[in-house]
Structure 1
């Protein structure tokens, strides 16, 4: 599905859908030479993706987005100067929203989610500690810090009940870093580390406390400069993590989404050894099967995220038209219409 209007180099990092007629995607554009680029936001109206005006803002990247209706969506991004922004879509445009710690030099907002009760959850860090910011639009508060030192949180997803979220990222293990998964339901539960050599988690999906999937990339050690990592897929059964084969050995896994029944269904990835089309993993019983995306104008697309479309069996995925964020790479989107 064309996502026109971005200035190369550009990419969409995250996507969220409120229904078949409404979705948002965010990322960055204008990455060329020494430029740090500028924020990019697009909106789906049921027929086309259109670029939304961000000229009143000065942020260099939007890293995540979550939305539930036409006048209620949220985004977070890379700070400009000392400010790590929290943005709200008001039905017409994106505007900065104040929150405790806004403007503090050590505050970083990395990801955002909206729960079933429309409560907004943001993960990031403040005062050197990873944690959660929770609010309802006007009133915000930081919750107890994550009880893990040297941790980074990159993704947050709602749980099955109000007041419950799951988070993933990475944590120091002395000689590198391991995958981190944590759960908040009024108190923190930190799962055992997902073992790996320099392993970072980019996404997770929970169908319950004994059915959690985490995806990411293991950088490993050795190899020539520029060597790609290895896709990492792990399952938590309530007792231990089990590593699952991804179906290819060089590349990455970037996002995961569930179906209408809450079961993990699709994973976005990048297969270094076959870049002719986009790469997905589809849930097939208790395992996963590699599926290729459509042929199109992008000869080697790289996908960053996938999300379900509420009220339908459809899914959106977004990324960029090549694996490298350099001109002429542009924003890119695909849609699965089941």
Structure 2
């Protein structure tokens, strides 16, 4: 069963807290503005949003999501490409795919991968060839019940997608030509929302697992066999993104939906750190909103978190790593009336970062796709 995801399905945000320090948690620093700037995205059919963004360098980036969404109704696939100067909208009409694209991973200007929610029988696996997106074949393509939720590329060039086949959460692994499904995750009632490479050739996934009428945050590692970490407990908590610096240095971001409420009720941001033996929940600097994506710097250290502060929606909201603390940073003024971020990603070779989302948290017209860039 798919869990209810608030508005855009994005996840929690935090502020000025030092891991393990009660004093620092009690006195969060004042938010400060950095040089994030809005970058115009090409027009699309409202309501539109970008779910994920990835870059291969300063002259190649991809962002995917949906357009033509009407409230709870799923929109049509939307894909943008950055050529170093501007975003252009990709023509997806020839694919015959009408569902939402949920994730993207870039290799170089002529190679990237994307996956989307099921449209018809199953999810698509798409490959960028330098000028257009093409559908790729894989075991289970077109098979009822096959779902691909997220995709990444390891340092060795192998492509990994997480999803569902045969009623179980799994990984699909391939080199672009040959693909295979790996052993099922040994967890029942699991949903996976993110897959990321580890520094040692391992692969990590994040999502949630049903627990006694609700669900808790799920993180697991694949290195030839599955290792499932202890659950990150909370009130209907799901993990939407991970950053893995080492097997004993993992950051997870997500949203805690709480005890319930009316449709569209904001959740609470969730941030947790794994030290190799236990999870530590780090208290955010605001209480209502979302944390959606986390990205590392050139040294592999967690650096930025993208999110949304329900109590101050005038600018985009980030967390920036300062030593052992996370500090709130606000985006540019005037970029959008109430920007909502779904993701943040590094730009290799530059020290910069992209973020992506939508111009407001409401998935109704006139909401448009939105991007910002740092550095």
Tell me the equivalent position of 1:199: 237
State which of 37, 43, 64 in structure 2 corresponds to 1:5. Answer: 43
Could you tell me which residue of structure 1 aligns to residue 27 of structure 2? none
Structure 2: gaps of 5 or more residues: 1-38
- Give the match for residue 331 of structure 1: 369
Task: Tell me the residue number matched to 1:50.
Answer: 88
Change beyond 3 A, Cα 1:33–1:320:
closer
Whose relative contact order is higher, 1 or 2, with alpha carbons under 8 Å and at least 6 apart? 2
Instruction: Answer yes or no: is the 8 Å Cα contact 1:43–1:50 preserved in 2.
Output: yes
Pairwise CA distance, 1:325: 1.2
Normalised to the residue count of structure 2, the TM-score between the two structures is: 0.88
Distance, in Å, in 2 between the alignment partners of 1:330 and 1:103 is 31
Q: Which residue of 2 aligns with 1:217?
A: 255
1:305 aligned to 2:343? yes
Could you tell me which residue of structure 2 aligns to residue 320 of structure 1? 358
SS of structure 2 residue aligned to 1:56: helix
Structure 2 residue 165 is the aligned partner of structure 1 residue 123:
no
The CA distance in 1 between the partners of 2:246 and 2:53, in whole Å, is 23
- C-alpha change, 1:151 and 1:226, in structure 2 (3 Å) is same
Deviation at 1:83, TM superposition (A): 2.3
CA drift of 1:296 comes to 2.1
Whether 1:144 aligns to 2:183 is yes
CA distance in 1, matches of 2:266, 2:118: 28
Q: RMSD in angstroms over aligned alpha carbons?
A: 1.2
2:68 aligned with 1:30, yes or no?
A: yes
Q: Distance in 2 between matches of 1:143 and 1:222?
A: 36
Counting only pairs closer than 5 Å after superposition, residues 157-196 of structure 1 correspond to structure 2 as: 157-162=196-201, 164-196=202-234
Q: Deviation at 1:73? A: 0.5
Match of residue 288, structure 2, among 231, 247, 250: 250
Report if the CA contact (8 A) 2:339-2:361 is conserved: yes
* Superposed displacement of residue 4, structure 1: 1.4
Equivalents in 1 of 2:262, 2:115: separation in Å? 35
C-alpha distance in 2 between matches for 1:44 and 1:332: 13
| Residue 33 (structure 1) shift | 6.6
TM-score by length of 1: 0.97
Secondary structure of 1:207's counterpart equals strand
Deviant stretches of 4+, over 6 Å: none
For 1:260, the equivalent position in structure 2 comes to 298
Unaligned 5+ runs, structure 1:
none
